[in-house]
């Protein structure tokens, strides 16, 4: 489902709902002046929240920093998902950091890959 914003509201958002391995998954992507927010939920709440940003100067290869700021700190695939997305944001030309929330029923690599693809397909960057 695509939802468009009246031009006056300064934050653009997009929301989709899809099925990933039998679990209904809601994805909301918001674009603020200085950040992107991506909410992915299968459990009705935001779950684990990660912060991902690009570091490094213009002249060097960018490096990325991804960390869990709220929730599960022992699920490496969540960090991998954040890393994929921040790199995609960077490659699209934006330096904005990403706040990513993942409230998932299952943390398998297949689920994370599918939702990463879904977020990229519906991205606002």
Partner 1 sequence: MASKELDTSFSELLVTEGSDSVGQSNKLEGQGSNDDAQITCFTEDLHDVTFHFQIIKLTKQIYVWIGCNTAKFGHLYAAAITRPNKTVAVTPVLGGTSDNTGSGIARRLVLKTGLNIIVACNIPKDSPTLEVTAERKLFEKLKSLGYIKPRPEGLPVRSAHN
Judged by the rule CB under 8 A, the positions of this chain that interact with partner 1 are 1, 3, 5, 8-11, 13, 15, 17, 24, 26, 28, 30, 32-35, 37, 39, 41, 43-46, 49, 51, 69-70, 99, 103
Is 27 or 81 the residue whose CB approaches partner 1 more closely?
Answer: 27
The C-alpha atoms of residue 82 and residue 68 are separated, in whole angstroms, by: 9
Q: How far is the CB of 76 from partner 1 (least distance, A)?
A: 21
Q: How far is the CB of 35 from partner 1 (least distance, A)?
A: 4
Parallel, antiparallel or unpaired: strands 12-20 and 23-31: antiparallel
Is 51 or 107 the residue whose CB approaches partner 1 more closely?
Answer: 51
Q: Are 28 and 102 in contact (CB under 8 A)?
A: no
The C-alpha atoms of residue 30 and residue 94 are separated, in whole angstroms, by: 14
Using CB atoms within 10 A of its CB, is residue 39 exposed (0-12), middle (13-18) or buried (19+)?
A: buried
Q: How far is the CB of 10 from partner 1 (least distance, A)?
A: 4
Encoded tokens for 42: 């299968």
Q: How far is the CB of 11 from partner 1 (least distance, A)?
A: 5
């Amino acid at each position: 489902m695509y939802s468009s914003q009246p031009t006056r509201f300064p934050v653009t958002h997009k929301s989709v709902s899809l099925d990933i391995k039998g679990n209904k998954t809601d994805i909301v992507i918001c674009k603020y002046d200085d950040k992107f927010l991506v909410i992915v939920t299968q459990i009705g709440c935001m779950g684990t929240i990660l912060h991902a940003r690009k570091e490094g100067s213009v002249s060097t290869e960018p490096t990325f920093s991804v960390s869990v700021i709220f929730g599960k700190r022992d699920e490496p695939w969540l960090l991998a998902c954040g890393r994929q997305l921040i790199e995609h944001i960077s490659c699209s030309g934006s330096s904005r950091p990403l706040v990513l929330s993942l409230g998932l029923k299952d943390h398998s690599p297949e689920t994370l890959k599918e939702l990463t693809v879904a977020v990229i397909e519906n991205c606002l960057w």
